[in-house]
Amino acid sequence: AQKVTQAQTEISVVEKEDVTLDCVYETRDTTYYLFWYKQPPSGELVFLIRRNSFDEQNEISGRYSWNFQKSTSSFNFTITASQVVDSAVYFCALSEASHGNAGNMLTFGGGTRLMVKP
Amino acid sequence: GAGVSQSPSNKVTEKGKDVELRCDPISGHTALYWYRQSLGQGLEFLIYFQGNSAPDKSGLPSDRFSAERTGGSVSTLTIQRTQQEDSAVYLCASSISRGGNQPQHFGDGTRLSIL
């Protein structure tokens, strides 16, 4: 069965610090997709990034970067020079290509609450 | 609207009553998903629709839960004889197709409180 673990339940940093959110996943599928979502205090889940299992290239988008390593089944998310507006709960999620009748349901980790203090 | 729309945003009801939650997906999105977010259980998958059909209902927590989708668009999630453990935020998401590489876009959710 698929599983996503975010070991850090809560992280507190001071503005401008770099912070890395960890995500470890388990799946038997060879083709799968990994996602990060942000949930600000307003509650809406906002899609940040998708990564395919066959593409281990790291990705950078502004202050955000993602490190995907199949060897350790990890998909970590780094925010550089954090800002107060980055305060939110961040979820890592996994979708398997072959999930049959459940479509491509997302299996979420427990989330990491990030608090960025001024 | 441009995004996934859910209504009501908040619902408070007494134990034993039935409730109906509505989701209006992004126009043109064929896949629709319901999830539940609660303190104890995190984010859990409930049910998936491709078009109007729901091939797998095994994610629904009990037979008090049902869902339908009509016209390949709006979906309703119905909870009968509500219990206190049904209190949660119910999230709806849609994606352009059922492919696993398609990101799911979420609504703001319905916060359900059972007294």
**What is the torsional sign of CA B23, A98, B100, B50?**
negative
- Whether pLDDT at A22 is above 70: yes
A54-71: pLDDT as tens digits: 888 888 889 999 999 999
A50 CB near a chain B CB, below 8 Å? yes
Query: Which positions in chain B touch A107 (Cβ < 8 Å)?
Result: 45
Cβ B48–A102 below 8 Å, yes or no? yes
Query: Average pLDDT of A22-50?
Result: 93
Which candidate, A74, A84, A92, places its Cα nearest to that of A38?
A: A92
A69 min Cα distance to partner chain B (Å): 18
For residues B106 and B75, give the distance between their C-alpha atoms in angstroms, rounded to a whole number: 14
Confirm or reject contact between A34 and chain B (CB < 8 A). no
Write the residue in B59, B100, B105 that is nearest to A33 by C-beta.
B100
Taking the C-alpha atoms of residue A44 and residue A50, their distance in angstroms, rounded to an integer, is 18
How many Å apart are CA A48 and CA A88, to the nearest integer? 13
A99 touches chain B (CB under 8 A): yes
Backbone phi, psi, residue A15, to 5°? -45, 140
What does the pLDDT look like over B1-58, one tens digit per residue? Answer: 579 999 999 999 999 999 999 999 999 999 999 999 998 778 999 999 888 888 777 7
As a whole number of angstroms, the distance between CA A90 and CA A36 comes to 7
* Residues near B94 by beta carbon (within 8 Å), at least 6 away in sequence: B4, B23, B25, B26, B29, B31, B32, B33, B104, B105
- Identify the band that residue B71 occupies on the pLDDT scale cut at 50, 70 and 90: confident
Q: Tell me which residue in A43, A46, A95 faces B100 most closely, judged by beta carbons.
A: A95
